[in-house]
Structure formats: C-alpha cells, structure tokens
Amino acid sequence: MILVCGEALIDLFVGPPEGTEMPARAVAGGSPFNVAIGLARQGARSAFLGGISRDRFGVLLADILAREGVDTRFIVRTDRLSTLSAIATAPDGQPSYSFHGELAADRSLAAEDLPARLPDEVRALTFGSYTMVVEPVGSAYAMLAEREKGRRVISVDPNVRPTVISDMKRWGAAAERFYRCATLVKASDEDVRAAFGPGTALADAAAYWRGYGAKLVVITRGAEGAIAFGAAGTLEVPGRKVSVRDTVGAGDTFHAALLARLAATGRLDEAAIAGLDREALGDLLAYATAAASVTITRRGADLPHRTDVEAVLAQDAASPCAVNCGLA
C-alpha cells in the first residue's frame, strides 16, 4: 500500500467573463488527491492521509476516494471548510492556479492527528504540493516523513505553488524537511524554475536533491519528455505526440505511474530504487510518460487506468514513435 499525504480540494475551472457572469465548473482535485486515485486506477493499493471537511465539498471528496478504491481509514474529518482552487487554462493547455484556503480543512491536520503507527502493509508514503509548507499540516507531515525515513520509501513532488507562498526561500526551507527524507523526488522543470531560478540547470537541481539522499530524481519537461538522474547515470525519454486538451493532472499522473510501476515490478523499496539499471529506469520512464500522455488528451485531471496505459504501450510495440507530449 502507498499512503498519499496532502490536500484534497475543489478545483473551479473558470472561463472568460460573459457579460456579468463568469462560467465555472467545480470538480474534485488537489495534487495528492489525484495521485491517490491515479495509483488505484493503476492497480496499486493506495490510501489517503489528509484533512477533509465535513462540508458538502468534503463529503464529495471523501466519497470519490472511497468509490475509486482508495483506502480512507486515515482521513481526518474536520468542521473547517474545503479549499477552493480557481484554475484558468491558457490556449496551449497550461493551467494557472489561485488558491482560496486560509485556515481550511486541508491545512488543519496537526501532529496529534497522525496515526501512532502505520500498518506493515504501507510500503511507501508520498508528500507534495503546498501542504508541505503551510502550517500546521506541513510540520505534521514532516514529522511523519522523518519518523518513517528508512522504514519505507518516501516520494516527494514539490509541485511548487507560488500563489500559495510567493517567498521561495520560505518554501525551500519548509520543503527541505521532506527532501532530507526522500527516496524519490519527482519534479517538473517549472518546479525547478520556480524554486531555484529560471537559469538553473536541471542537473544542478537533481544534484541538490540527491545531495540530501534521494536515490532517484525524475524531472518532467513538458513537451520534451522527462529526464532521470540515478545511480545508473542520466537517462532521457522524449515526449509523445498527442492532441493536448489540457495538462491538468499530467504531473500527478506521472508521479502515480512511477510508483505504481515500481510496485508492479517489485521495486518499491529503497535498495531496489537505488539499484535501478538503465533498462529498468527506461521502462519506468516510458510507462509514466505513456500514462501522462493519456491524461493530457482529456479534460481536467482524468487519470488513466492501467489498461489505458497498456493500450498505449501496445501501440508503441506495433508502431514505435515518440515525440511531443506535455508533462507538468
């Protein structure tokens, strides 16, 4: 089982004003929420640990997790309201976010809400996005990561959100607590630019994370595909040529697919991740890239099932091709 720690919220997809009205569509979301569902759809057992409101939105979020087959026993229910995230999508499919969640349910989880002991079936934990850096939830999750380091795989996706905390020094200091515990870091080139500056080389960012002990760093690069840095060296895979609807949830899909593939191939432990050879690493990246390529052909964060990814890979086997898909 993979325990996903972080926010579950409501995404409001907003369009341009029409007269005096602004059209909007409300859907369940949040990067960790998506990862938990993505794992379940990929056939990996997943559970969700986070604060979820008892309001109408929170009921929806908890119900969707349960319906998707995510274990909900670690959810902490609260009377605080659900966070709302307004998303506007640019013509190229890239989303911009603004978050409305001060003192909301997903930020309220505290150290006393953590399970005193995780069951042995939990083989990995994931952390990501703004719940790593806002309080009290950030310190609570950091405590959990520090407690479980060395016992289970720790996977971190910084998923930097400057609209939540614009001070990158503050973000970096808070996120460092998790980098020190990470077995695997999955990031995007956008994360690297936001966290380290626009001129930062991806190899330098990877060296920073590996310097804290990460055994594998994978950075997605939009239409250019992804690049991995590990003991076997540096390995790049190209993007895929698909018709992009939008890129919402592509990075979450990639993260979930990485972990699901590691679990399916018997490599979801620190030693195995540290020892990935180039063939295994190539397989891992190809699978995650294929998964993300499905998501970006769909509207919103509609993550693929394992059969969807297998169908894409089967097409590759019949007619290999590889260029240009958007990963976030």
Amino acid code (one letter) for 207: A
Task: Give a yes or no: residue 324 inside a domain.
Answer: no
Task: Give a yes or no: residue 323 inside a domain.
Answer: no
Task: Give a yes or no: residue 327 inside a domain.
Answer: no
Q: Rounded to an integer, what is the distance from CA 116 to the centroid of its chain?
A: 25
Domain count, the chain: 1
The CATH number of the domain where 50 resides is what? 3.40.1190.20
Task: Give a yes or no: residue 196 inside a domain.
Answer: yes
Task: Give a yes or no: residue 256 inside a domain.
Answer: yes
The pLDDT, as a whole number, for residue 327 is 47
The pLDDT, as a whole number, for residue 315 is 87
- Domain hosting 161: range is 2-318
The pLDDT, as a whole number, for residue 326 is 44
Segments in the chain below pLDDT 70: 20, 22, 92-93, 320-328
The pLDDT, as a whole number, for residue 318 is 78
Task: Give a yes or no: residue 286 inside a domain.
Answer: yes
The pLDDT, as a whole number, for residue 247 is 85
Task: Give a yes or no: residue 116 inside a domain.
Answer: yes
Task: Give a yes or no: residue 328 inside a domain.
Answer: no
